[in-house]
Amino acid sequence: MSISTSVLTELLRFFPDLRPQLYFKSSLIALSHAMEDQVLADTNVPLIVATFQRERYYRQEAHRYRRIAEKTAWVYVLSAPETDFRNDSGVYESVAFDVADALTQEWHLVVLNSQYANCLICRERALSPAEIAASPVENSRRFEGIWTFDRTVSLKAAEILLDRISLYRPELAPKLQQTRDIFLSASPSQKMRDLPPASSSPATNPDPFVQRLVTYLQAGQYKLMKAYRSIAAQEQKERLIHLMTVAIRESLDPEEVLDIAVEQLGRVLSVCRCIIYRCQEDSQTVKILHEYLGSQAPSARGETWPVAQNPLFREVLERRATACASDTLEDPRLANAPKASLEPFIRQYGISSWLCVPVFYNNRLQGMVELHHCGTTREEWTKEEISLVEAIATQVGVALIQAEAYANLEALNEQLESFDRTRSNLVAIVGHELRTPLSTIQVCLESLASEPDMSADLQQVMLHTGLADAERMRKLIQDFLTLSQLESGRVEWNPENLNIQECISLSLSNTFARKSKQELPEIIAPLTSNFPLVRADGEWLVQVLAKLLDNACKFTDVGGRIAIEARVNRDRMLEIAISDNGRGIEPSSLETVFDRFYQEEGALQRTAGGTGLGLAICRQIIKRWGGEIWAVSEGKDKGSKFYFTVPLAEGAIEPQNGATARAPEASSVKPSANRTRQRRTKKRQ
């Protein structure tokens, strides 16, 4: 059986002046509980009629009704069944109505006794789609209806419900009649008073209903406040994370991102100090560069802090998680730390509560976020605070990695640009250096082939020119290959203890093998001085000396002078200098002369010959043994001086008479000095 008339509508028909109110579900729960609790606390025997929209709602309250049934035999509970709720006359009368019945839309509770009567008769309001979308359905369910202590209204409500019950459960007719007689008849109060009290315990509180209602409302309010607090915390967290994300997106400067992070975290969490520093697992100390100070606490900016000894730092590394101390004076971990290092430190910076949140990326420690309360303020770090700082630490990790990747990318770009320059230079060199001699060779060979009557002298000139240009091409290719090998590290190194005089002598013999003394400037070399042994690869060392000597000869007139000097410098390296009084170098070019293909005239107008790769090769060789090369010149026509350093051999004995050792004696060719080495050296020229 299913009845489609609403109980509320029926009741309002009898009382047209009643104005239905709107109730949230939570308010109806509070009212119902308060009404039920009052019944439980009262000594009077009441009539109770309660309807539940669905069996699931009834189940939540079933235990209360069992307790109520211990106090009164007049309990009727109605509900639409879902599992096993059915018509029954067990502990109390249960009445199952059809799921299509209008009662599934309603919520009723009627209490009648000799002292008071009250009723709650409500109907659920259908929600608009917008209302459903605005909040979770369960919390936003609303009802309209009457809640009143008016006895007349309550009696009518009870009557309507008892009539309904008699339709659903006709077999209850006698009991229902008895109920009506006791509770609804013309003078029910007397009959009600005649009922024996069900419980011996008197109502201890004169107004338990109000008390209980207040408790329920308070509890509801408290829950609401908690929910608001958590929403506010969540909102704050999201705002901060958003801010960080924007900062990271807008800036690739990690320092700026870290500044924003300390500032925001410090402010939002109202701490006395917030710092972020970079560190690794094995860091002993860290430099504090990013700090927020919220009060008069001493600043740590620019300071170097010990971290390896800090038990909180160690705990973070061991547990790979946040570590904190709410009271640094009482914390056992800090108390057991080596007193000498930690205690004065904590005192100096006034740290009373300490939070350390690691910045990990791919499980690799990137840094640490620290928050401090200072002075007498001691506070527990809440779960919300920790989770906020951890969320920011994750963003900081991303920022640091992003910045690192950007820096790597920039380095890679620079490398690519440099490769591109090399490639362009190569094209220029191939275009000029290779094609020019090649066409000369071609012209010479064609002339020789097509002019059989050419004079013998001219034939010689042609042959000589062709051969010279072929040699120029060979040298360029050779230098380029050497430089490529040196740069890519594909060179075999055979370090040995060497006598520098012997190396100078070998390089001189190379020079003199190509040109006679008359075609060269005067060369002064310290061939008889006593220098400590150096540690280097002999062939490469001779090549450096030969190249520098060659340049000095190339850029100095025959009447000029070249000097080779050596001394042990402060770094215990042998410093060799090759100076000339020739063409000189503009101060602005002193560094660029070491660039690949640098030539003062530019690649296309070369007069002095050469490839522009010699000094770049020298720098690569010298770098390999940990030395340096540099040029000094006062400018055009003021001569040049090229210095380079070579490490001393282990246990090498330095000359007693001071650092400098220079022989004013003019050099001489000693081709027999070391034939084997000379042959090996030639191979590389």
Interface with ligand ADP by CB under 6 A: which residues? 551-552, 555, 580, 582-585, 593, 598-600, 610-616, 640
HSE, CB side, 13 Å, CA atoms: give it for residue 14: 13
Q: Return the number of the residue (446 or 628) whose C-beta is nearest ligand ADP.
A: 628
**C-beta of 634: minimal distance to ligand ADP in Å?**
12
State the residue for tokens 């042990």.
568
Q: Return the number of the residue (79 or 611) whose C-beta is nearest ligand ADP.
A: 611
Q: Return the number of the residue (321 or 603) whose C-beta is nearest ligand ADP.
A: 603
Q: Give percent helix, percent strand, percent coil of the chain, each to the nearest 5.
A: 50, 20, 30
CA distances from 75 to 166, 221, 449 (A): 14, 31, 132
End-to-end CA distance of the chain: 114
Q: Return the number of the residue (188 or 612) whose C-beta is nearest ligand ADP.
A: 612
* Helix segments in 18-144, DSSP class H: 25-41, 55-69, 129-134, 137-140
Q: Return the number of the residue (213 or 562) whose C-beta is nearest ligand ADP.
A: 562
Within 8 A by CB and 6+ apart from 381, the residues are 324, 326, 353, 355, 371
Q: Return the number of the residue (590 or 652) whose C-beta is nearest ligand ADP.
A: 590
Which among 485, 503, 500, 497 is positioned nearest to 536, based on CA atoms? 497
Q: Would you say 360 and 397 are in contact if contact means Cβ atoms under 8 Å apart? A: yes
State the residue for tokens 């699931």.
56
Q: CA-CA distance, 335 to 325, in Å (whole number)?
A: 11
CA gyration radius, the chain: 50
Q: Would you say 324 and 332 are in contact if contact means Cβ atoms under 8 Å apart? A: no
**C-beta of 681: minimal distance to ligand ADP in Å?**
17
Q: Would you say 248 and 257 are in contact if contact means Cβ atoms under 8 Å apart? A: yes
Give helix 456-488 / helix 614-624 axis angle, nearest 10°: 30
Q: For residue 654, give the 3-state DSSP assignment.
A: coil
**C-beta of 600: minimal distance to ligand ADP in Å?**
3
**C-beta of 676: minimal distance to ligand ADP in Å?**
27
- 501-519: b or e for each residue (b if 16 or more CB lie within 10 Å)? bbbbbbbbbbbbeeeeeee
Q: CA-CA distance, 133 to 78, in Å (whole number)?
A: 31
**C-beta of 430: minimal distance to ligand ADP in Å?**
16
**C-beta of 465: minimal distance to ligand ADP in Å?**
20
**C-beta of 592: minimal distance to ligand ADP in Å?**
8
Q: CA-CA distance, 142 to 590, in Å (whole number)?
A: 87
The pair of three-digit structure tokens given for residue 108, joined into one six-digit string:
């009723």
Interstrand relation of 561-568 and 573-580 (parallel, antiparallel or unpaired):
antiparallel
The pair of three-digit structure tokens given for residue 214, joined into one six-digit string:
């207040």
**C-beta of 584: minimal distance to ligand ADP in Å?**
6
**C-beta of 302: minimal distance to ligand ADP in Å?**
44
Q: Return the number of the residue (123 or 596) whose C-beta is nearest ligand ADP.
A: 596
Q: Return the number of the residue (38 or 645) whose C-beta is nearest ligand ADP.
A: 645
* Residue of this chain nearest to ligand ADP (CB atom): 610
Q: Return the number of the residue (543 or 551) whose C-beta is nearest ligand ADP.
A: 551
Interstrand relation of 534-537 and 495-498 (parallel, antiparallel or unpaired):
antiparallel
**C-beta of 576: minimal distance to ligand ADP in Å?**
14
Q: CA-CA distance, 608 to 588, in Å (whole number)?
A: 21
Q: Return the number of the residue (7 or 613) whose C-beta is nearest ligand ADP.
A: 613
**C-beta of 635: minimal distance to ligand ADP in Å?**
11
Residue type, 606: R
**C-beta of 323: minimal distance to ligand ADP in Å?**
58
The pair of three-digit structure tokens given for residue 226, joined into one six-digit string:
């908690």
**C-beta of 471: minimal distance to ligand ADP in Å?**
14
Q: Return the number of the residue (526 or 612) whose C-beta is nearest ligand ADP.
A: 612
Q: For residue 136, give the 3-state DSSP assignment.
A: coil
Residue type, 521: P
Q: Return the number of the residue (343 or 600) whose C-beta is nearest ligand ADP.
A: 600
Give helix 254-268 / helix 208-250 axis angle, nearest 10°: 170
**C-beta of 595: minimal distance to ligand ADP in Å?**
8
Within 8 A by CB and 6+ apart from 348, the residues are 298
Q: Return the number of the residue (38 or 551) whose C-beta is nearest ligand ADP.
A: 551
**How many other CB atoms sit within 10 Å of the CB of residue 137?**
10
Residue type, 509: S
Q: CA-CA distance, 401 to 392, in Å (whole number)?
A: 14
Q: Return the number of the residue (229 or 421) whose C-beta is nearest ligand ADP.
A: 421
Within 8 A by CB and 6+ apart from 164, the residues are 3, 7, 78, 97, 103
Q: Return the number of the residue (112 or 549) whose C-beta is nearest ligand ADP.
A: 549
State the residue for tokens 């840094």.
367
**C-beta of 552: minimal distance to ligand ADP in Å?**
5
Q: Return the number of the residue (236 or 589) whose C-beta is nearest ligand ADP.
A: 589
**C-beta of 617: minimal distance to ligand ADP in Å?**
8
